[in-house]
Amino acid sequence: MTEIVLNEPLDMHLHLRDGKMLQSVAPLSAYSFSGGLIMPNLIPPITDIDMLHSYRDRIKQAIGDEKFLPYMTLFFKSNYDRDFLASVSDEITAIKLYPAGITTNSEGGVQGFDIDELSPTLGAMSDLGIPLCIHGESSGFVMDREKEFIPIYESLARAFPNLKIVMEHITTANSVEALDRYENLYATITLHHLLITLDDVAGGMLQPHLFCKPIAKRPEDREALRRVAFEAHPKVMFGSDSAPHPQNAKEAPGCAAGVFTAPIALPALVTLFEEYGALDNLQRFVSDNAKAIYGINPPTKAVTLTKELMKVPQKYGEVVPMYAGEELSWSISSINY
């Protein structure tokens, strides 16, 4: 095969930041994707409707004429009022829950996981059909944080069986196994976690542009992710977790966590899926599953990729992408609406 068309590709976990960074990176996602689930962890986080409207307007201004729908989210708070959630339910696609301090701009997240304390918001979300997205990590040893969080996922899944719970950017075989234990658990998988292990990050010279949270895990974990992605398991979908930081924040003490993949995501996914004989399932992984899970209808967009080399730029503005300076086997040749 020398050409593939992906219809309405979706990025269901996307960081666009704000200000100058938003202006730089938003057009890159809007060019190749039909829509994206926009993360709310700005400073301050998106917690009310005015903030949400303002951020959405800034995104639309940044992407210009590109045909791209930002699916908006709120930053989880345990004291959201049911009437408030009812009033915004048609304007948000999900609410994102962060454990406090676990990743970028998450200091205002949940301290502990007392289900009784979280129940008013979660119960209202369940009744209103608002999905819950979770960055699922404990504060334990870094390689065990996601595994240690699984009992919390399970407790939430049992307590709120009608609530759709999305385990964001899963990285472990344990999370893959949890998918099929509970009907209401779903997951996003990133490009970089399909490609790398911890050895790529720190096995030789430290690679700051591959450092992310959750951190890349073991080869057997990557194989579990690949298995469900390549078969397009109906409960998994693509979410890049593309997380741009300026080069000087990545190549510094206290390296910022995040891998920037937005502009190379589709060519890299086609390259990977072709290598493993799974191209027939890529459409479901990058679009159809997300449409079914979230019940969304993104703008019509057909992205044609051809088997021609893509030379990845060294930088996009201030941000160094994954595969900077390297070549991918596939490239985007046309976009049709």
pLDDT digits (tens, 9 = 90+) for 291-323: 999 999 999 999 999 999 999 999 999 999 999
**pLDDT (0 to 100) of residue 145:** 96
* Residue of 50, 241, 280, 288 marked active site: 241
Mean pLDDT within 168-173: 98
Euclidean distance between CA atoms 207 and 210, whole angstroms: 6
| pLDDT tens sequence across 252-285 | 999 999 999 999 999 999 999 999 999 999 999 9
Q: Mean of the per-residue pLDDT values for the chain?
A: 97
**pLDDT (0 to 100) of residue 107:** 87
Residues 6+ apart with CB under 8 A from 290: 10, 12, 237, 238, 296
Q: Which CATH number fits domain 11-265: 3.30.470.20, 3.40.190.10, 3.40.50.300, 3.20.20.140?
A: 3.20.20.140
Alpha-carbon dihedral sign for residues 248, 197, 29, 68: negative
pTM of the full structure: 0.97
Euclidean distance between CA atoms 106 and 110, whole angstroms: 9
CA distances from 157 to 77, 95, 172, 175 (A): 18, 16, 19, 13
Specify the residue for token string 């609530």. Answer: 163
The DSSP output letter for 99 is B
Among left, alpha and beta (phi > 0; psi -120 to 50; other), residue 126 is alpha
Asked whether the beta carbons of 164 and 186 are under 8 A apart, the reply is: yes
Characterize 103-134 residue by residue with b for buried, 16 or more Cβ atoms within 10 angstroms of its Cβ, and e for exposed: bbbbebbbeebeeeebeebbebbbeeebbbbb
Residues 6+ apart with CB under 8 A from 83: none
Euclidean distance between CA atoms 2 and 306, whole angstroms: 6
Place 325 in a pLDDT band, splitting at 50, 70 and 90.
Answer: very high
pLDDT greater than 90 at residue 104: no
Strands 35-38 and 327-328, how do they pair? unpaired
| pLDDT tens sequence across 20-63 | 999 999 999 999 999 999 999 999 999 999 999 999 999 999 99
Place 245 in a pLDDT band, splitting at 50, 70 and 90.
Answer: very high
**pLDDT (0 to 100) of residue 102:** 86
Task: Mark whether 241 is an active-site residue.
Answer: yes
**pLDDT (0 to 100) of residue 189:** 99
Mean pLDDT within 174-200: 98
Euclidean distance between CA atoms 71 and 29, whole angstroms: 13
| pLDDT tens sequence across 76-97 | 999 999 999 999 999 999 999 9
**Beta-sheet strand order (sheet of 185-189):** 73-75, 94-97, 132-134, 165-167, 185-189, 236-238
Q: Domain extents for the chain?
A: 11-265
Q: Which residues pair with 95 in a beta bridge?
A: 74, 132
